[in-house]
A and B are shown apart, each in its own frame.
Chain A
């Protein structure tokens, strides 16, 4: 079964450092997302990406965050200057276009990247 893969599984960084989290979405999916989850609690939406641009973002997704799809397969989330409160599990997800059959509208999630900011 196709899956979304994320790297690294765990990253520890110092406050103020830049972090890049990487994701390989399912190959025929068109929509890409980043969510985060703090301490196994609520899953919060960060940003969605379609047709090589941001289609939607939440108030959490401020100027320190950016996303990119540099090579047509990877989808990255960059945090420019990490803060303690950025410590969380970050999930990448992807979904097919409207003609996605039974999978239409379903987001498939990766296993997550745990970010610890010290």
Chain B
């Protein structure tokens, strides 16, 4: 079975400060990992993915994430937060070694960036 944990329901950060949104995963094989963002009354927008290769992946809007196999983590980071980054963030996983293509999502973390 594949699963994702996002331990924080909400993260608050001041504009201009670095932000981290945490994600840990569980798969029986090797993971494909993703971050999506959801703005109010909108669908999920793809931010970035880890498939293979470099553990640090860069995505849209200045976000990046680091794959850590030993800690089974894939935390989302940004060096300097913007008020417009305030949204709901979802981490998702897919097991590379199964025939499944559907993603399993975490419960989401609400990011609030204060001006």
Write the residues of chain A forming the contact surface with B, with a CB cutoff of 8 angstroms.
4, 31, 33, 35, 40-45, 48, 50, 55-56, 91, 93, 95, 104-112
Main secondary structure of the interface of A (DSSP, over half): strand
Select A45's contact among B36, B43, B51, B104, beta carbons within 8 Å. Answer: B104
The closest CB in chain B to the CB of A33 belongs to B102
Closest chain B CB from A3 CB (angstroms): 9
Select A111's contact among B34, B43, B101, beta carbons within 8 Å. Answer: B43
Q: Which residues of A contact B100 (CB under 8 A)?
A: 56
What CA separation (Å) do A43 and B43 show in the bound complex?
A: 11
The closest CB in chain B to the CB of A42 belongs to B107
- Once A41-B108, A43-B108 are accepted as A-B contacts, the answer to whether A56 and B102 lie under 8 Å apart by CB is yes
In contact, B88 and A111 (Cβ under 8 angstroms): no
Select B103's contact among A4, A45, A50, beta carbons within 8 Å. Answer: A45
In contact, B107 and A106 (Cβ under 8 angstroms): no
B44 contacts chain A at the CB level, 8 A cutoff: yes
Q: Which residues of A contact B104 (CB under 8 A)?
A: 45
Q: Which residues of A contact B88 (CB under 8 A)?
A: 40
Closest chain B CB from A79 CB (angstroms): 19
> From residue 77 to 114 of chain B, which have CB atoms closer than 8 A to chain A?
88, 90, 94, 99-108
The closest CB in chain A to the CB of B88 belongs to A40
Closest chain B CB from A37 CB (angstroms): 8
Please list the 3 inter-chain residue pairs (A to B) with the smallest Cβ-Cβ separation, ordered nearest first: A109-B43, A43-B105, A109-B44
Q: Which residues of A contact B107 (CB under 8 A)?
A: 41-42
The closest CB in chain A to the CB of B32 belongs to A105
Select B101's contact among A41, A43, A44, A48, beta carbons within 8 Å. Answer: A48
Given contact pairs A35-B105, A42-B107, A43-B108, a sample of 17 additional A-B residue pairs in the complex whose CB atoms are under 8 Å apart? A41-B108, A42-B105, A42-B106, A45-B102, A45-B103, A45-B104, A50-B101, A55-B101, A56-B101, A91-B43, A105-B32, A105-B49, A105-B101, A107-B46, A109-B43, A111-B42, A111-B43
Q: Which residues of A contact B105 (CB under 8 A)?
A: 35, 42-45
- Once A41-B108, A109-B44 are accepted as A-B contacts, the answer to whether A95 and B34 lie under 8 Å apart by CB is no
In contact, B46 and A106 (Cβ under 8 angstroms): yes
